[in-house]
């Protein structure tokens, strides 16, 4: 990787050097024949005049032609922006050697004011509210200074909207500007006849192996519905979101119109049968003086059979924390909006810290972490509601092995859950400029249904993003959670169902899941041990400010606060920090440094470096 980056960097500098030489040469060649200055008018008029004059001459023949046309070009430039009484004073200084100097002193005169604007519609567009909304935003009103560019833009916008709404026979029956030079007024007339609005005809698909009804359910309009490019785009997005296809072309067959109905041809190219995706991350910090890498390999089969089944298997490796999870997805009543997911997993993880009391130093020293191995089998149905909320209900069977306070546990839980979530985004990029995500979930387990103990889990998560003045971005998040259970049964609730804080998605100045309530106990060897076992409650918040130095690079600074806790034991910890983020083609890659501001009974003041990749929403 490094040699490639070096070669690329050298190549860029070499190209930049050649570009500078080329630009300098062109400028020098132009300057050999004429130097131009324009004064007496505002910046907008000045730019328009220079644009109408065109490229500066690069030969004596071009110079003669340039000077011959100066007066006409300046007049045209002034009139295009509503100044019909402009005057041009040309001051030409000829030199035997070097470029001639041309100074143009412009007197624009009185501007022409738009007296009235007559925009008239006829045809079926009269019943289309989209044109009323467009008309309310038209940037051409009585009292404005006449600008032929604005007039042309209005005409283009109207034609473009008509085509986008399916009025393919639309035309201007009148489009003119009447200028009264004596009193400097203009009258604008735009009469547009849309004719009839075309309808959608039959939609046909080519290049796929799916059952036809699966694709038909993705069509966001019915045959005979009014045509619009927005609906064509919606069909394209629906097909893209399935993940089945590498290339999609939605082609309205204008040449095949029958009785005002436009057939639509969709050309599809399936994705490769299998895909492998590699992700990475890691952090390093003061608490353990070691780099903690994370590597994730994801294997996807986008389409297993003609019914649209798919699978995703992810293997995540981190020292002593390997995770294997397979998700098999079956479309039900709709390929996107109603899915059944079957999940099977083997997940090993570490939580908190374990310590032993050193009588000589009168302090606790770290000995490791609380470890667990979880076996998971889950069934989940996810549906998109009409209000765009995602609702899912699930049943998960969990068996987890761990040792706590020198006691081995192996509880089983059968969790029935329901989840509601909604994400709104300002754009569909991997680095959205704005958005809001909210998630609410409830899980319940009961001994009468085979679980070790009775447990109700409540969780709520919020994330808000907004961008101000183009370059200033704010990211805020809040995570809240609670476990409702009998206090005598807490040890039987496995670590994966408790709450811990710390890590790149929590309080960034501390290690992954190392924060939370602890207990002291006397081990079999007679020594006093301390163990962070997690809490029944979680409250963590974060506020981050990011500034875009360039469109693809930004810097950020943040403050995180919160902790996991038990009844009346909330001890919030705070971390601050910052980092640099690269907005890569595959999503933001972030390098952040977090510094903990508080020393707890189990953790000294800490710092962590986090390397993460992925979108914020």
Backbone phi, psi, residue 329, to 5°: -115, 130
329-363 pLDDT, tens digit each:
999 999 999 999 999 999 999 998 999 988 888 88
**How many residues would you count in the chain?**
617
Domain match, 368 and 507 both = yes
Confirm whether 18 is domain-assigned: no
Query: What's the average model confidence in pLDDT over 123-135?
Result: 95
User: Domain end: 145, 167, 193, which one?
Assistant: 193
Residue 487 clears pLDDT 60, i.e. is over it: yes
- Closest Cα partner for 268 from 245, 287, 290, 252? 245
> Whole domain around residue 522: which residue ranges?
346-613
User: What percentage of the chain has pLDDT greater than the value 70?
Assistant: 93
44-91 pLDDT, tens digit each:
999 999 999 999 999 999 999 999 999 999 999 999 999 999 999 999
Q: From CA 496, how far away is CA 473, in angstroms rounded?
A: 34
Confirm whether 291 is domain-assigned: no
Residues 76, 82, 85: CA angle, nearest 5 degrees: 70
Confirm whether 214 is domain-assigned: yes
Confirm whether 285 is domain-assigned: no
For residue 264, the model assigns a pLDDT of 96
C-alpha pair distances (Å), 11 with each of 8, 74, 521, 534: 5, 43, 64, 53
Domain match, 372 and 520 both = yes
Domain match, 436 and 528 both = yes
For residue 109, the model assigns a pLDDT of 92
Query: How, if at all, do strands 199-206 and 261-270 pair?
Result: parallel
Domain match, 539 and 600 both = yes
User: By mean pLDDT, which of 7-11, 388-392, 423-427, 451-455 is the weakest?
Assistant: 7-11
Domain match, 517 and 590 both = yes
For residue 30, the model assigns a pLDDT of 43
pLDDT tier at 290 (50, 70, 90 boundaries)?
low
Residue 603 clears pLDDT 90, i.e. is over it: no
Give the number of domains in the chain.
4
Residue 3 clears pLDDT 50, i.e. is over it: no
For residue 300, the model assigns a pLDDT of 96
pLDDT tier at 419 (50, 70, 90 boundaries)?
very high
Residue 287 clears pLDDT 80, i.e. is over it: no
Confirm whether 60 is domain-assigned: yes
Confirm whether 405 is domain-assigned: yes
Query: What's the average model confidence in pLDDT over 438-443?
Result: 98
Instruction: Look over the chain and give the mean of its residue pLDDT values, rounded to a whole number.
Output: 90
Query: How, if at all, do strands 100-107 and 34-39 pair?
Result: parallel
CB 399 within 8 A of CB 374: yes
Q: How far apart are the first and last CA of the chain?
A: 29
Q: From CA 49, how far away is CA 77, in angstroms rounded?
A: 5
CB 30 within 8 A of CB 41: no
CB 161 within 8 A of CB 167: no
How many C-beta atoms lie closer than 10 Å to residue 218's C-beta? 20
Q: Based on the number of CB atoms within 10 Å of its own CB, is 252 exposed (0-12), middle (13-18) or buried (19 or more)?
A: buried
Q: Which long-range contacts (CB under 8 A, 24 or more apart) does 546-551 make?
A: 546/472, 546/473, 546/474, 546/475, 546/581, 547/471, 547/472, 547/473, 548/470, 548/471, 548/472, 548/473, 551/583
Q: Which position has the token pair 């099977």? A: 344
Domain match, 463 and 507 both = yes
Say which CATH number the domain at 130 has. Answer: 3.10.20.310
Domain match, 134 and 204 both = no
Q: Based on the number of CB atoms within 10 Å of its own CB, is 97 exposed (0-12), middle (13-18) or buried (19 or more)?
A: exposed
User: Domain end: 158, 193, 228, which one?
Assistant: 193
CB 469 within 8 A of CB 438: no
304-331 pLDDT, tens digit each:
999 999 999 999 988 778 999 999 999 9
Q: From CA 17, how far away is CA 11, in angstroms rounded?
A: 10
Q: Kindly report whether the global pTM for this prediction surpasses the value 0.85.
A: no
Contact partners, residue 292, CB within 8 Å, separation at least 6:
282, 283, 284, 318, 319, 511, 512
For residue 22, the model assigns a pLDDT of 38
pLDDT tier at 283 (50, 70, 90 boundaries)?
low
Domain match, 86 and 117 both = no
Domain match, 255 and 390 both = no
Query: What's the average model confidence in pLDDT over 534-554?
Result: 96
Higher-confidence residue: 108 or 586?
108
Domain match, 170 and 209 both = no
555-569 pLDDT, tens digit each:
999 999 999 999 878
Q: From CA 152, how far away is CA 139, in angstroms rounded?
A: 11
Helix, strand or coil for residue 316? strand
Residues 490, 495, 496: CA angle, nearest 5 degrees: 125
Residue 609 clears pLDDT 80, i.e. is over it: yes
Confirm whether 223 is domain-assigned: yes
User: Domain end: 233, 253, 270, which one?
Assistant: 270
Q: From CA 116, how far away is CA 268, in angstroms rounded?
A: 51
For residue 286, the model assigns a pLDDT of 56
Domain match, 380 and 481 both = yes
Query: What's the average model confidence in pLDDT over 224-252?
Result: 95
For residue 278, the model assigns a pLDDT of 87
Domain match, 166 and 224 both = no
Say which CATH number the domain at 514 has. Answer: 2.40.160.50
Residue 366 clears pLDDT 70, i.e. is over it: yes
Confirm whether 1 is domain-assigned: no
Helix, strand, coil percentages in the chain from 3-state DSSP, rounded to 5: 20, 50, 30
For residue 7, the model assigns a pLDDT of 29
User: By mean pLDDT, which of 2-16, 344-358, 404-418 is the weakest?
Assistant: 2-16
For residue 20, the model assigns a pLDDT of 36
């Amino acid at each position: 990787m490094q040699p490639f980056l070096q070669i690329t960097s050298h190549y860029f500098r070499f190209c930049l050097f050649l570009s500078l030489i080329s630009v300098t040469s062109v400028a020098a060649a132009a300057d050999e024949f004429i130097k131009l200055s324009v004064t007496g008018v505002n910046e907008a008029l000045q730019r328009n005049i220079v644009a109408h004059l065109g490229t500066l001459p690069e030969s004596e023949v071009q110079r003669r032609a340039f000077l011959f046309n100066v007066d006409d070009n300046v007049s045209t430039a002034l009139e295009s922006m509503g100044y019909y009484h402009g005057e041009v004073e040309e001051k030409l200084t000829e030199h035997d050697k070097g470029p001639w100097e041309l100074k143009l002193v412009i007197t624009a005169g009185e501007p022409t004011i738009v007296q009235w604007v007559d925009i008239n519609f006829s045809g079926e567009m009269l019943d289309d509210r989209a044109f009323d909304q467009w008309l309310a935003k038209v940037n051409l009103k009585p009292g404005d200074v006449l600008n032929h560019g604005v007039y042309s833009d209005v005409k283009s916008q109207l034609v473009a909207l008509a085509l986008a709404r399916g009025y393919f026979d639309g035309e201007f029956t009148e489009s003119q500007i009447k200028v009264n030079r004596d009193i400097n007024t203009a009258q604008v007339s735009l009469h547009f006849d849309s004719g009839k609005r075309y309808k959608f005809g039959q939609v046909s698909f080519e290049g796929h192996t799916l059952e036809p009804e699966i694709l038909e359910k993705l069509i966001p309009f019915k045959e005979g519905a009014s045509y619009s490019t927005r609906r064509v785009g919606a069909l394209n997005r629906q097909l893209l979101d399935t993940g089945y296809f590498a290339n999609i072309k939605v082609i309205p067959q204008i040449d095949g119109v029958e009785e005002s109905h436009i057939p639509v041809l969709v050309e599809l190219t399936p994705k490769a049968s299998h895909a492998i995706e590699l992700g990475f991350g890691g952090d390093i910090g003061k608490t353990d003086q070691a780099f903690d890498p994370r590597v994730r390999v994801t294997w996807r089969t986008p389409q297993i059979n003609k019914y649209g089944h798919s699978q995703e298997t992810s293997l995540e490796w981190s020292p002593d924390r390997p995770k294997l999870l397979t998700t098999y997805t079956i479309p039900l009543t709709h390929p996107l909006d109603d899915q059944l997911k079957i999940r099977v997993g083997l997940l090993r993880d570490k939580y908190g810290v374990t310590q032993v009391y050193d009588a000589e130093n009168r302090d606790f020293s770290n000995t490791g972490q609380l470890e667990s191995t979880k076996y998971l089998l889950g069934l989940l149905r996810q549906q998109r509601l009409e209000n765009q909320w995602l609702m899912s209900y699930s049943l998960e069977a969990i068996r987890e092995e761990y040792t706590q306070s020198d006691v081995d546990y192996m509880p089983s839980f059968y969790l029935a859950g329901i989840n509601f979530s909604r994400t709104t985004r300002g754009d569909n990029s991997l680095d959205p400029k704005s958005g809001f995500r909210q998630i609410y979930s409830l899980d319940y387990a009961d001994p009468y249904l085979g679980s070790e103990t009775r447990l109700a889990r409540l969780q709520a998560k919020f994330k808000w993003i907004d961008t101000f003045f183009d370059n200033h971005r704010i990211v805020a998040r809040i995570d809240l959670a609670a476990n409702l259970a009998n206090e005598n049964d807490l040890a039987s609730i496995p670590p994966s169902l408790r709450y811990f804080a710390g890590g790149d998605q929590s309080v960034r100045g501390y290690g992954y899941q190392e924060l939370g309530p602890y207990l002291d106990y006397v081990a079999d060897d007679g020594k006093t041990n301390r163990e962070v076992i997690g809490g029944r409650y979680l409250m963590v918040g974060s506020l981050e400010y990011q500034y875009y130095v360039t469109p693809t690079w930004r810097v950020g600074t943040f403050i995180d606060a919160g902790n996991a806790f038990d009844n009346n034991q909330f001890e919030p910890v705070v971390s601050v920090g910052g980092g640099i983020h690269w907005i890569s083609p595959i999503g933001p890659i972030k390098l952040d440094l977090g510094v903990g501001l508080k020393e707890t009974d189990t953790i000294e003041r800490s710092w962590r470096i986090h390397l993460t990749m992925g979108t914020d929403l």
